Structure 1
Amino acid sequence: MMPASVPLTRDLVLIGGGHAHALVLRMWGMDPLPGARLTVIDPNPVAPYTGMLPGLVAGHYRREELEIDLVRLARFAGARLIVGAVTGIDAAAGRVTVAGRGEIGFDVASVDVGIHSGMPQVRGFAEHGVAAKPLGPFAGAWEEFLRRVADGAAPQAAVIGGGIAGIELAMAMAYRLRGIAGRAEVTLIEQSAEIAPGAPVIRPRLTRACVAAGVRIVTGVDVAQVTGAGVILGDGTEIAAGFVAGAAGARAHGWLAKTGLPVTADGFLRVGADLRVEGQEAIFAAGDCAHLTHAPRPKAGVYAVRAAPVLRDNLRAVLSGGTTRAFHPQRDYLKLISLGEKSALAEKMGMAFGGRLLWRLKDRIDRKFMVQFGDLPAMAAAEAPRLRALGDLGPEPLCGGCGAKVAPGVLSEVLAQERPPARADIVTGPGDDAAVIMVGGVRQVLTTDHLRGFTEDLGVMARIAALHALGDVWAMGAKPQAALVSVTVPRMSEGLQARTMAEIMAQAGEALRASGAEIVGGHSTLGAEASIGFTVTGLLERDAITVAGARVGDALILTRPIGSGVLLAAEMRGLADGRDIAALLAALQVPQGVAAEILSGAHAMTDVTGFGLAGHLMAICRASGVAAEVDLAAVPVYAGAEALAAVGVRSTIWAANVAAAPVTGGAGARVALLHDPQTAGGMLAAVKAEAGEGLVQQLQAAGHAAAVIGRVVAGPVGIVVKG
């Protein structure tokens, strides 16, 4: 970890999670540069290793085996990950534009966004075809096609592009389809007179391999159109295919040419020997999106991998005032080509080999590359003092978000010592989410909430923290009005302070304005770690919905899954799946004002936050003098949370939550999740029994993962779990 005494002074932004950047992140985690804040921006929480794509298509690998978890890798590197697509770079201003997010500042930047194989010039391809790169959309479309084939669809596929990549795909498709349907009709379409136009030495072997695999080869033709039924060639010939893949060449992303940075005629960034973009002191590029002007090479992942150490060293050099060094790519490399089944062909320096042993070699090389991102080194923990005061808080780090709250028992004991408000214009109830204040005859609700840092992306954290604070206003049936923001950021230079505060205020302001509130002021300070909080007011146009109105027979509705505490705790420890974390953070950025309006007729309502579902349901039970039954199977849970809970992952405050709101009946991971602290959790409402299912349908139609999770029953105050 970076020494706390070193303030942040420089921003390094990695645009794209390609092979070179993934390796830079890993090396950075092993040896970070003090004072540098590292950011990686990618449209996805995982980055594919394309060398294993043919094996994925053939069914030799699972999808997760060739995906680099950028969330986990960024945590290891001490970096923030922004999940979004970069659409522009302003080199002069030192800013990149991220779709749906705005501008991110940098002092030094590097581009490694790969290539794509889309075919915009072919009519109908965008609607009915799928490019082999990027991998994410391709893999999803291929899996969907295989499901259709398993259900009886014709096993017909076509690959446009007869180069090495297209040949590998065609043979892999034929192998997989035969395994599912017992037969396959795969057509390989190439504009040139022969397939593998750039590889004459191995062309005869590849042609024989295609024939043996049952792949039909069509050469010397143009593709006129792609339809839902297949491919129409220039001469009118129709090729039936339920799946059409584009693999005809490597194309640069169009936005690169619009940046004003120097590019080749076909749109690739021109870089010099030290991997800096020509004419730029602080912008680098690597991988397939870059053209090495000093040593042009074909597009191949091996060059990105070999460039990574040089890129890392040069980024550090520019950030720290050092000297860069040159990248000298090898002239040739061992090309290993998959042949569908577990067999491969190799070529180097004009010599070709083939056989199953080569597949094993390729498999070993590919898995060795991937294992370095799966088995990240354990970083040494700070040494514990030899002598310290008695008492043990346990070995686990303090959680972020609502997992860092003060224990509910401690809080309730302290609050019980406070005397009731003496002012007549302050109206409160036991356990209410917010205070109700009379101002000039108008009822105003007032609440405040703070979150300890749970993500390095303070823009996302600000948006979630704002919506988290608004939960109390919505839960009482009020309409958001105004907000004061309180921000603590780690020690950093004034330039980074300005960038950070701009991101925080932009994201928080957008979330609050969309909910009907405005930021009217606030406070900021530097501290040991990040925290963001809001004091929010709202206006009541009706009686407040409190926790005290639940009635026997009411249905209990929850508008959002539980498990955020477990997921965030696991992410801090490098145990969570990046896709689950990305999905969670996206869900937490969805406002719940509409959900609160739908539930405005509730007898009692609260938002589920730090004390967990059980704790907040217990608050309703105590205030209303009732008991509750919870249908465990009906409680929605975030993807990945139950599996993590099952292996013992717990948030910091979990044990205190259990003690404060014990439940009877049930056992296992789902029961444990009832006590999981939630950040920006769902609305929990007690409504008329007969209205429950209809309200859930309205909530689901509005985009909320709502469910009836139980009912209010007569009996001693408490919670009983069923199922």
Structure 2
Amino acid sequence: MLSPPHPFTRDLVLIGGGHTHALLLRSWGMKPLPGARLTLISPNPTAAYSGMLPGHIAGHYERKSLEIDLVQLARFANARLVLGAATAIDLHRKEICVPGRPPIEYDVASIDIGITTNMADLPGFAEYAVPAKPLETFADAWQAFLSTTGPAAVAVIGGGVAGAELVLAMSHALGGIARPARLHLIERDTALAALPARASRRMRRALIEAGIEIHEAAEVIAVTAEGVRLADRTIEAGFICGAAGARPHPWLAQTGLSHRDGFVTVDPRLQSSDRHVFAVGDCADMAFAPRPKAGVYAVRQAPILAHNLRAALRETGQTQKYHPQADYLKLLSLGGKSALGDRFGLTFSGPWVWRWKNRIDQKFMSKFRDLPQMQLPPLPAVRAAGAEALGDKVLCGGCGAKLGQSALLQALEPGGLPGDDAAVIDIGGARTVISTDHLREFVSDPVTMTRIAAQHALGDVWAMGARPGAVLTNLILPRMSPALATRTLREIMTAAREVMANAGAEIVGGHSSQGSELTIGFTVTGLCDHTPVGLAGARPGDALILTKPLGSGVLMAAEMAGRAHGADVSAALDLMMQSQAQASEILLDAHAMTDVTGFGLLGHLRNICLNSAVGAEVTLGAVPLMAGALDLSANGIRSSLYPDNRAPFPDLDATPRHDLLIDPQTAGGLLAAVTGDVGKRLTALRAAGYQACDIGRITDETGQIRIV
């Protein structure tokens, strides 16, 4: 999160990344409210646009074409992003529960979590079927089914518009790969009853022409491994989808908010029964003007919601009322690149309608694809000499913000060798290691940031083969009101204590202050019952094992610029939060070991080589990389520490994969020089959840690192 020009005084929390909230984030990025800290809670780093889902299922669009990247959008809006699913709201304490983390407090909140078609009360549904919503889960399941072979049998439970669009799309997709298929649309009443008569007849004709069997007045009793069981027969199916009506997420009815059948009741100002909580999209019940669940209403709600949230945060100002339109243009996919349109009783169809629908959908998605990139102000015309060399690139956070190794060695150990990862001291006859680390903010969620900073600091102790013990914290919070500072500190310390306790350590003290940006650091001591594993013991012939893939520096640099894919960023954060405790135990008898952090793989391998008076050979293709890192490297994305990390390796090839060998890592993996049964070690590491690889070997060419 960029340092705000004004201290934060109020917390606005958006629960869910639905269409209304996505549009709100975009407008907020254009014009934020000074003093308001914005937080988005979403279970996924992307949100699927429902209007293009049938086109994706049919094969007309790639998955990324219908995904709104919430990571990029949150960065643009300067919002904290919490990747998790809300499961409860405490209206009295004004807290939102997200399992696996401390409660998130709010002053004003808005709910936009959509609906589900999960038929939890139908026997066998959870085991053998997939709901059409959430869209992300359904799209993944469909792609997995498409990859199977043999005749296909598909059943869609729910004969409304959504079910008809999906089964037509499935029929087209299976026909496109010449896969024999039998498809069924099952409806307990009359199929397509919500459409006007002419539109219903046209859509029904499309279903019949596609060879889809329509089962009406068909009560589903259960879902089994064989298919869908009705009262009088079983419809065989290998892929079963639930699209029968809109169901609210169950936890909404437990919040204490007024609701109708689980949908949060809102007034014309989109405000719930609690004046601090708003609700929009399909999860809201517009009791003042009942309407069917449709994305067009969510889109029209966005500017009204934005205005009223600002008024609530300011605690002054006039609110606005939302007036839903009486009717709207319905554009429905017919499987192939043809669509059906209906408005005010006028029905039309054909390929030209699909092209029209496609233009509308693409225009909507372009709002989120074409976000302006963050730019620093240009260097002033009159400036001190040398300013050009520093350039105008955004300074990376995490380990990408640390000083280069050459500067450190010149200042701290001129003419000497790099030291071990942690200092070794004897205290009362006990061999103790001690190290300190802090990270400048690079991810906006303070809990995620804390977990990464804690693992990063623990890495030095684990690299020495020690057991973490006592911990001191060092925190700098950005300037904010006392209430928000208390909230933030509570989140950070709860997360920190959890990580340290899991590592067998205890936080015994620390220091906090306010500054220009969030910085989280820890000083960690550890006990060692044996000679600590250092940098000086590597021997020719040792294998080199790396326990985590590379690429966090490039990915975080791209994320700050709004150029990284949200799913790749989420995966990278998970890797950075992964503990190295088990890896340290498995590699405890390594001849030399270090954790790969700011100096990159080659920089830390060089430290082993210099201290051990050996060389190394790295197999380029064996080095594991984080998802998305290679593409970003190929597109010229670099961490701000990259030039310093390249300086010791002037002859290193300038290819995207070579560049990742010097990419600064935050909370990176362990690099160990080991002998013996390497395969057995790798098996143990992978069983413990590490993406460990054998990446090369130690040689007798002192000081030389060859890439092969």
Which band: TM-score by shorter chain? Answer: over 0.9
1:534-613 matches, within 5 Å, as 534-613=522-601
Range that drifts further, 248-257 or 344-353: 344-353
* Aligned residue number for residue 385 of structure 2: 390
Corresponding position of 2:24: 24
1:369-400 Cα distance to aligned partner (Å, 9 max, x none): 00110001345643543422111201211000
Corresponding letter in the other structure for 1:499: R
2:664 aligns with 677
Distance in 2, Cα, partners of 1:55 & 1:194: 21
Quick check: 592-601 or 383-392, which moved more? 383-392
- Given that residues 467 and 526 in structure 2 are in contact (C-alpha distance below 8 angstroms), is that contact kept between their aligned partners in structure 1? yes
Structure 2 matches for 1:628-707, cutoff 5 A?
628-662=616-650, 664=652, 666-688=653-675, 690-707=676-693
Q: Give me the identity figure in percent.
A: 55
Asked if 1:285 is matched to 2:279, the reply is yes
Counterpart position of 1:215: 212
- 2:297 is aligned with 1:303: yes
Residue 339 (structure 1) aligned to one of 334, 338, 349: 334
Task: Give, in angstroms, the shift of residue 3 of structure 1.
Answer: 7.6
Q: 2:202 corresponds to which residue?
A: 205
Can you list the C-alpha shifts for 1:333-391, whole angstroms capped at 9, x where unaligned? 00011110111111111221111111111111111100110001345643543422111
1:510 aligns with 2:507: no
Q: Helix, strand or coil: the match of 2:177?
A: helix
Are the aligned partners of 1:663 and 1:718 in contact in 2 as well (CA < 8 Å)? Answer: no
Q: 1:178-202, CA deviations, whole angstroms, 9 ceiling, x for partnerless residues? A: 1113432110001014443554342
Q: 1:585–1:385: structure 2 CA closer, same or farther, 3 Å change rule?
A: same
Residue 236 of structure 2 is aligned to residue 240 of structure 1 = yes
SS of 2:697's equivalent in the other structure is: strand
Identify if the C-alpha distance between structure 1 residues 4 and 122 changes in structure 2 by more than 3 Å, giving closer, same or farther. Answer: closer
Q: Does 1:224 align with 2:221?
A: yes
CA distance in 1, matches of 2:88, 2:362: 34
8 Å contact from structure 1 (residues 58, 340) kept in 2 = yes
User: Are 1:367 and 2:362 matched, yes or no?
Assistant: yes
Structure 1 position 715, deviation (Å): 1.4
Counterpart among 241, 254, 274 of residue 258 in structure 1: 254
What residue in structure 2 maps to residue 447 of structure 1?
435
CA RMSD for the aligned pairs?
A: 1.5
| C-alpha contact 1:614 1:663 (8 A) present in aligned 2 | no
Q: 1:657 to 1:418 in 2, by over 3 A?
A: closer
How far did 1:52 drift?
0.8
The residue number in structure 2 matching 1:529 is: 517
CA contact (8 A) 1:2 1:32 kept: no
Q: In the alignment, what sits opposite 2:186?
A: 189
Query: Which residue number in structure 2 is paired with residue 500 of structure 1?
Result: 488
Instruction: Check conservation: 1:662, 1:719, Cα contact below 8 A.
Output: no
Post-superposition shift, 1:534? Answer: 0.4
CA distance in 2 between counterparts of 1:147 and 1:228 reads 19
Q: SS of the residue aligned with 2:56?
A: helix
Counterpart amino acid of residue 57 in structure 2: V
**Per the alignment, in what secondary structure is the counterpart of residue 637 of structure 2?**
coil
Distance 1:380 1:517, change over 3 A: closer
Number of matched pairs: 705
Write the deviation string for residues 528-573 of structure 1: whole angstroms up to 9, x where unpaired: 1111100000001100100000000000000000110000000000
* TM-score (normalised: structure 1): 0.96
Residues 680 and 662 from structure 1, CA distance in 2 versus in 1: closer, same or farther, beyond 3 angstroms? farther
Of 444, 464, 486, 1:456 maps to: 444
Contact between 1:155 and 1:181, CA under 8 Å: does it hold in 2? no
Q: 1:525, 1:87 → 2: CA distance?
A: 33
Conserved? CA contact 1:184–1:214, under 8 Å = no
Aligned residue identity for 2:551? G
The separation in 1 between residues aligned to 2:649 and 2:532, in whole angstroms, is 25
Between the aligned partners of 2:647 and 2:698, the Cα distance in structure 1 is: 22
Deviation at 1:101, TM superposition (A): 1.5
Distance 1:516 1:572, change over 3 A: same
Contact between 1:663 and 1:720, CA under 8 Å: does it hold in 2?
no
CA distance in 2, matches of 1:477, 1:188: 60
Residues 54 and 169 of structure 1 are in contact (CA less than 8 Å); yes or no, is this contact kept in structure 2? yes
Alignment match, 2:58: 58
Give the Cα–Cα distance (whole angstroms) in 2 for the partners of residues 483 and 380 of structure 1.
38
User: Per the alignment, do residues 523 and 132 of structure 1 end up closer, same or farther by CA in structure 2, a change over 3 Å counting?
Assistant: same
Once the two structures are TM-superposed, the CA of residue 293 in structure 1 deviates from its matched residue by 1.7
Matched letter for residue 191 of structure 1: R
CA contact under 8 A between 2:160 and 2:191: conserved in structure 1?
no
1:505-542 alpha-carbon deviations (Å, 9 max, x no partner): 11111111000001111111110111110000000110
1:714 equivalent in alignment to 2:694: no
Gaps (5+ residues) in structure 1? 420-428
Q: 2:264 aligns with which of 246, 266, 269?
A: 269
Q: Aligned AA for 2:457?
A: A
1:716 CA drift (Å): 2.9
CA–CA separation in structure 1 for the residues paired with 2:231 and 2:180: 28
Tell me, what secondary structure is at the counterpart of 1:37? strand
Q: CA deviation at 1:661?
A: 4.5
Which residues in structure 2 correspond to 1:107-256 (within 5 Å)?
107-148=107-148, 152-235=149-232, 237-256=233-252
3-state SS of paired residue (1:481) = strand
Q: Distance in 2 between matches of 1:382 and 1:282?
A: 37
* CA shift in 2, pair 1:306/1:540, >3 Å: same
In structure 2, what residue type is equivalent to 1:599?
L
User: Partner of 1:255: helix, strand, or coil?
Assistant: helix
The 5 Å alignment of 1:349-428 reads 349-378=344-373, 381-382=376-377, 384-391=379-386, 392=388, 393-417=390-414
What is the match of residue 423 of structure 1? Answer: none
How far residue 660 of structure 1 moved from its aligned partner, in angstroms, is 2.7
CA contact (8 A) 1:155 1:242 kept: yes
Query: 8 Å contact 1:69–1:577 — kept in the other structure?
Result: yes
* Partner-residue secondary structure (3-state), 1:177: helix
Letter in 1 for 2:254: K
For 1:171 and 1:332, locate their aligned partners in 2 and report how far apart those are by CA, in whole Å: 25
3-state DSSP class of the match of 2:166? helix
Distance 2:351 2:637 in 1: 42
* Displacement of 1:232: 1.1
Conservation of the 8 A alpha-carbon contact between 2:3 and 2:517:
no
Structure 2 alignment gaps of length 5 or more = none
Q: Is the contact between residue 195 and residue 219 of structure 1 (CA under 8 Å) also seen in structure 2?
A: no
The 8 Å contact of residues 333 and 340 in structure 2, kept in 1 or not, is answered as yes
Given residue 209 of structure 1, which amino acid in structure 2 is its aligned partner?
A: A
| SS at structure 1 position matched to 2:275 | coil
Is the deviation greater in 186-195 or in 596-605? Answer: 186-195
Paired residue secondary structure (2:647): helix
Aligned equivalent of 2:425: 437
